[in-house]
Amino acid sequence: MKKILEILYKYQDEKYADFIAKLVPNIPRNAFIGIRSPEYKKITKEISETAKDEIPDFMRELPHNFFEENVLHSILISQINDFDEWVHKMEMFLPFVDNWAVSDGMKSKILTKNHDKLIIKINEWISSGKPYSMRVAMLFLKNEFLGADFKSEYLELVAKIRSDEYYVNMMSAWFFAEALVKQWDSALEFLQQHKLDNWTHNKTIQKARESFRIPSEQKEHLNSLKK
């Protein structure tokens, strides 16, 4: 994996490393190379052209030493076109995801066509008790299941979570704030019936009231529900 690391270091910006390290305080500064997000498109292209042979070992040999290796890993997973292979690589990687900046970048174009399989994995990951597996699961639930395939049971899946982990509870609030935008009546019921813990309940209201996509009269109603 020498070539992959050399490529990553070609795009190093130490001032940016100082900046991003402050945004991800649970990761030590020496674990950051310092690579700006737009550079990863160039990096993945260069790796595919000059270091493709290293990718299998790179994705197998975990944990990585650097934050940027984890970002790269998540991008490589997102490029997988077979759902079962995507799940396999996700489940190898998820135990080593240890910060919001990596977890929240998870995505894939193949998810929308595989909702029936994806929801099974979401249930498993939410039930895992592993903070960032739970966060990723809620991210996918938020991005994929608040539209045409929405069911109120998906709100229940998140509402029943009880955790002491800040990044789990923050994603729960983010999920419900988005649900208020896209599924107002169903999501509002969960607040009115006090189905969330107090912190998540109030944070949901705060995030929803900060949204430009919720009308002012609805924001006023939400404000009346604060605990």
In the chain, list all ranges with CATH 1.25.40. Answer: 118-227
Question: Where do runs of H (alpha helix) occur along 2-151?
Answer: 2-10, 14-23, 39-50, 55-60, 67-78, 83-93, 100-103, 115-126, 131-144
Asked whether the predicted pLDDT for residue 1 surpasses 90, the reply is no
Residues 71-90, mean pLDDT to the nearest whole number? 98
Q: Average model confidence (pLDDT) for the chain?
A: 97
Give the span between the Cα atoms of 188 and 210, in whole angstroms: 16
185-223 pLDDT per residue, tens:
999 999 999 999 999 999 999 999 999 999 999 999 999
Amino acid at 77: I
Alpha-carbon distances, residue 62 vs 50, 94, 118, 168 (angstroms)? 22, 11, 24, 23
Give the span between the Cα atoms of 73 and 66, in whole angstroms: 11
User: Is domain 118-227 classified as CATH 3.90.1010?
Assistant: no
